[in-house]
Structure 1
Amino acid sequence: MRYSLRQLEVFLAIANYENLTRAANDLAMSQSAASSSLKDFESQFDIQLFDRVGKRLKLNEQGRQIRPRAEALLAQARDFEQALTRHADAGPLNIGATLSIGNYLAVGLMAEYMKQHPEAAVQLEVANTARIAEQVLNYQLDTGLIEGELNHPELDVMSWRDDTLAIFCHPEHPLAVQQQRGDNIRDQDLLAASWILREPGSGTRQAFDRTMHGLLPELNISLELQHTEAIKRAVEAQLGVGCLSLITLQDAFKRGSLVQIDVPARDFSRTLYLIVHKQKYRSAGLNAWLQLCRDYP
């Protein structure tokens, strides 16, 4: 065999970091050793895998073509090593989740996975849909749990579970008072409100924008925040009206610090998704995680 697994590790680390020094540090080797490994790998097959852009090493077309195969080979090698050394059916996993899922669903999933596979380490990255998708595409995450809709040729996007958005406000907000009187909330009432929303690029914002079709240009969006808890606190402080996943609001509704506003004319249902790179090697651990997600109540 004319290449080694170490050469694949070096190639993939440089592809990930786009920097030789950071890749070498990640692999606990010297910069010169990493550079020699890449040089030997390229010279053995008379190819160039990177273009130099300043101090960065950017994958060229040849590098992009072989990267998925290198990722799969290395993942299979690690899976094989796991079976030999630990006699376990599941190895470590890097999971990504959007904020609502990460804070309210993923932790329970992780606890159940680690209960079933006590020797398997699981790491969780929480970010918005765009960021999670980028990391799955870049092989930095094994899989993602997302709220936003995606259509990417390199991603396997699987429907996971149903979810519902909810409009909410302080109990003394005019919308809450109007609802208590028994009056329906209409589009003109929504246009009169000040809105506190998730940032563009988040799955919650994407679903909200779709639900509010026809009203978006006229909506008064006073704040855009990256965290659900910050939005809830701002609405509790009577700074405006919010819209988040129902799973993030149930405790506040029970306490009475926030009130759900019903808007029968608009559909707030949506789907949550599992995403995996189409060329990602599905190890025993990854398959076990995906099955757990499908079975989770």
Structure 2
Amino acid sequence: MNFHQLHIFYTVSERGSFSSAAQALHMTQPAVTMQVQALEDYFGTKLFNRSTKKIVLSEAGRALMPYALRSIELFKETDIAMSAFTHMLEGRLQLGASLTIGEYVLPRLLGPFGKTYPHISIMMKVMNTTQIMDEITRHQLNFGLIEAPVTHPDMVIEPVMGDELKLIVPADHPLAERNEVTLEEALKYKFVLREQGSGTRRVMEEEILAKGLNPSDMQIVMELGSTGAVKSAVEAGLGITMISTSSVKHEVTLGLLKILNISDASFKRQFYAIHLKSTLLPISAVTFLTFLRQHALEG
């Protein structure tokens, strides 16, 4: 018995067939079948009840499942623990990132990461969450970083970093003379917002509702499909907005925009890592995610 066989056994159970497990594991179906049979030979009992339509765990298989799962979790924990000591890693990471993360959060972290792990190359695609999940399921990406939690039966979703939305106003706006306003005060002004369905918009609307106010009452003069477009519109004086503070650092430094606190509301959110349950992340990916979590703690 070895870890590889337990991982295959777990994947067959999760996927419900040998062919689907083989696809997820990048193996041939006969190879998957052979490894499961080797595990059954080791224990001297059948782990699956097979039929023409589907396979289900036998009583012995159900007993083995929690131990297989624990072995996988222990393997992951081992990778995380050892990643802190591994500085000569090599490899190519292929990841997807949603807009705010890919354009504003990760770029300032890739430099420090590259200095610490110079032999890991990163290929990042900036796309929406649906596209990221599709490419992960097709094994085009190792993992993704997204702005809102999702539910998918084949994927693991884990919080990795925190973020916060704040009120952003142009430098010559009447509110720019203040450092803090109430939510009700802010909502009296015209807004330029991200499009409906975006993670940023959803976080903002949920908090407004939680405070007993109605997002539909906002004076929305423009809805735009990117954070960059929203910033440009606010700079031009078309309205104020609520976006991630990480996306406006440059404009604030130049004195074009100002960040205001909202005294009676908090627009905090999590960024999430997402990957297939059936695929163990390479140590380089574990190291990268550990680096992001550590940065979040330090920040």
TM-score (norm 2): 0.63
2:214 matched to 1:258? no
Distance 1:71 1:122, change over 3 A: farther
Segment of structure 1 superposing worse, 119-128 or 230-239: 119-128
Query: What count of residue pairs does the alignment treat as equivalent?
Result: 219
Q: Deviation at 1:174? A: 3.9
Q: Percent identity?
A: 27
2:206 matched to 1:210? yes
In 1, the alpha carbon distance for the partners of 2:28 and 2:196 equals 33
Q: Deviation at 1:240? A: 0.8
Q: Secondary structure at the match of 2:233?
A: helix
Q: Secondary structure at the match of 1:286?
A: helix
2:151 matched to 1:151? yes
The amino acid across from 1:197 in the alignment is: L
Partner in structure 2 of residue 127 of structure 1:
127
Task: State how 1:94-133 maps to structure 2 within 5 Å.
Answer: 94-133=94-133
Distance 1:110 1:237, change over 3 A: same
Deviations 1:230-259 (CA, angstroms, capped at 9, x unpaired): 211110101111111111123323333212
2:194 matched to 1:198? yes
Give yes or no for contact 2:105–2:247 (8 Å, CA) kept in 1.
no
In 2, the alpha carbon distance for the partners of 1:106 and 1:260 equals 21
Distance 1:292 1:260, change over 3 A: closer
Partner in structure 2 of residue 220 of structure 1:
219
Give yes or no for contact 1:159–1:274 (8 Å, CA) kept in 2.
yes
The amino acid across from 2:93 in the alignment is: L
Partner in structure 2 of residue 185 of structure 1:
182
The amino acid across from 1:127 in the alignment is: M
Partner in structure 1 of residue 167 of structure 2:
167
Give yes or no for contact 1:170–1:238 (8 Å, CA) kept in 2.
yes
Task: Name the Cα RMSD after superposition.
Answer: 2.9
2:294 matched to 1:295? yes
In 1, the alpha carbon distance for the partners of 2:208 and 2:110 equals 34
Q: Which runs of 5+ in 2 are unaligned?
A: 1-16, 30-87
Q: Deviation at 1:166? A: 0.9
Partner in structure 1 of residue 82 of structure 2:
none
Give yes or no for contact 1:128–1:203 (8 Å, CA) kept in 2.
no
In 2, the alpha carbon distance for the partners of 1:136 and 1:203 equals 20
Partner in structure 2 of residue 13 of structure 1:
none
In 2, the alpha carbon distance for the partners of 1:172 and 1:203 equals 28
Task: State how 1:51-70 maps to structure 2 within 5 Å.
Answer: 66-70=22-26
The amino acid across from 2:164 in the alignment is: T
Partner in structure 2 of residue 17 of structure 1:
none
In 1, the alpha carbon distance for the partners of 2:282 and 2:294 equals 18
Q: Deviation at 1:171? A: 3.0
Partner in structure 2 of residue 14 of structure 1:
none
Task: State how 1:231-270 maps to structure 2 within 5 Å.
Answer: 231-270=230-269
Give yes or no for contact 2:99–2:128 (8 Å, CA) kept in 1.
yes
In 1, the alpha carbon distance for the partners of 2:186 and 2:27 equals 49
Give yes or no for contact 1:159–1:273 (8 Å, CA) kept in 2.
yes
Give yes or no for contact 2:195–2:223 (8 Å, CA) kept in 1.
yes
Q: Which runs of 5+ in 1 are unaligned?
A: 1-60, 74-87
Give yes or no for contact 2:166–2:262 (8 Å, CA) kept in 1.
no
In 2, the alpha carbon distance for the partners of 1:197 and 1:63 equals 46
Q: Secondary structure at the match of 2:141?
A: coil
In 1, the alpha carbon distance for the partners of 2:151 and 2:163 equals 19
TM-score (norm 1): 0.64
Deviations 1:208-246 (CA, angstroms, capped at 9, x unpaired): 222221322222322222222221111010111111111
Partner in structure 1 of residue 55 of structure 2:
none
